[in-house]
Amino acid sequence: MYAPIPVDRAGARAIPSRIRPPAHAGSSYPADAHALRTHLDEFFADVPSPADGAPLAGLVAPHIDLRVGGRAYGHAYAAVRAAPRAARYVILGTSHAPGLGRFAATRDDYATPFGVVPTDRAFLDRLAARWTGDLFRDRHLHAREHAIEFQVVLLHHVLGDRPDVAIVPILVSSFHDLIRRGAAPAGDPEIAAFLSALRATLADDDVPTVVIAGVDLAHVGAKFGDRGGATAALLAATEAKDHRLLATLEAADPAAFWHELAGDADRTRVCGAAPLLVFLELMRGRRGRTLAYDRFDEAATRSCVTYASVAFPGA
C-alpha cells in the first residue's frame, strides 16, 4: 500500500497529516478492496493496451460515477498504466460546491480502500507561498467532492504499491461569472496569478509529473433544466458541440475552447470547463489524442451526461 506517513525528498520523516476518508466508498464503488479491484479490472477488459514507454504529460479523465463510466475510465488509466510512472500527479478536479475563491487545495492525504495516497505538501506549500490568494481557505470542499476522489482510486488501482508517488489535489470552481460578463479567463487577475504560480512551482524541480483533469462534459435534459428532456435534436447538437470542444482540447488551445464554450453561453452545461481551462494552459504546445467519448443516458429523468478521455504525450 501507499505509505500512510510520507517521506520528504531529502529522506526525513515528515509530519503526519490528516487523512481524507474515501467519501463515496460503498456507494459509487465497493468499499472492500478485493471487490473494488475486481470491479475496476472490468474497466480495462476491452481496452487495447497502449504501447509501453511513451511518457505522459497530461490526461483528461471523467469524473462521472464509477458505476457507469467504466469504459472511458479504462481508456484513460490504461494510458497511465502504460506510461513511465511519474512521481507526482497534479489532479485538477471540478468543484461541484461553490467556494469563496476559485481554487482550493488540501494538505490531507487521500485514503482509498487500498490504503492511503500521500499528498505532496511541500509542492502545495511552495504554490501557496507564490500565489496571492488563500489556497487552503476552501479546503473543506474536498471532504465530499468526488471529482478528485475517483481519480485517486483509479491511480491507486493502476500504480499499486508505490510509496514514492504523491498527488497534488486542487479543486477548481466555476468560471461561469466570466461567461455572463463576456470576459475571457486569461484576463481574470485571480486566474492569471494562479496559473503563473502553478507554472513556476512545476518548474521548481525535475520530479516527473502528470497533470490530470477530472472532468465531465455536457449535462442536458430535464434533470438539468431542459423542459423537453434530452430530445434527439438536443442530443445531436450536444454531440456536435462536444466534438468541437474535443478538437480544441486536442490542440491544447484554451482560447479556442473558451470561444466554443462561451459562444452559446455554455448551453450544454459543461461540468469541467474551469479545470479544463487551467489544464489546457499547462498543456500548451502539446497535442492530445481522444481515447474515448461516451455518454450516460438516464431514462427516468430524460437526461444525459457526456464525458471523454484524452491523453497528452510528454516530451
Of the CA atoms within 13 Å of residue 298, those in its CB half-sphere come to 18
pTM beyond 0.85, yes or no: yes
211's grid cell? 497533470
Average pLDDT of 280-290?
96
Query: How far is the C-alpha of 92 from the C-alpha of 272, rounded, in Å?
Result: 10
* CA Rg value for the chain: 19
Query: How far is the C-alpha of 171 from the C-alpha of 133, rounded, in Å?
Result: 14
Asked if pLDDT for residue 248 goes beyond 70, the answer is: yes
Asked if pLDDT for residue 154 goes beyond 70, the answer is: yes
Confidence of residue 17 (pLDDT cuts 50, 70, 90): low
pLDDT at 83: 93
Asked if pLDDT for residue 172 goes beyond 80, the answer is: yes
Q: Is 112 exposed, middle or buried (0-12, 13-18, 19+ CB in 10 A)?
A: buried
Contacts for 99 with CB less than 8 Å, ≥ 6 apart: 137, 138, 141, 171, 173
Confidence of residue 162 (pLDDT cuts 50, 70, 90): low
Asked if pLDDT for residue 12 goes beyond 70, the answer is: no
pLDDT in tens, 176-188: 999 989 899 989 9
- Domain residues of the chain, as ranges? 33-217+271-297
pLDDT at 216: 97
Average pLDDT of 92-112?
95
- At 126 the three-state DSSP class reads helix
For the domain 33-217+271-297, what is the CATH code? 3.40.830.10
Average pLDDT of 83-89?
94
pLDDT at 46: 87
User: Which of residues 14 and 40 earns the better pLDDT score?
Assistant: 40
Average pLDDT, the chain: 92
Average pLDDT of 121-140?
96
pLDDT at 218: 96
Asked if pLDDT for residue 9 goes beyond 80, the answer is: no
pLDDT at 163: 62
pLDDT in tens, 178-233: 998 989 998 999 999 999 999 999 999 999 999 999 999 999 999 999 999 999 99
Confidence of residue 301 (pLDDT cuts 50, 70, 90): very high
The position carrying cell 501507499 is 2
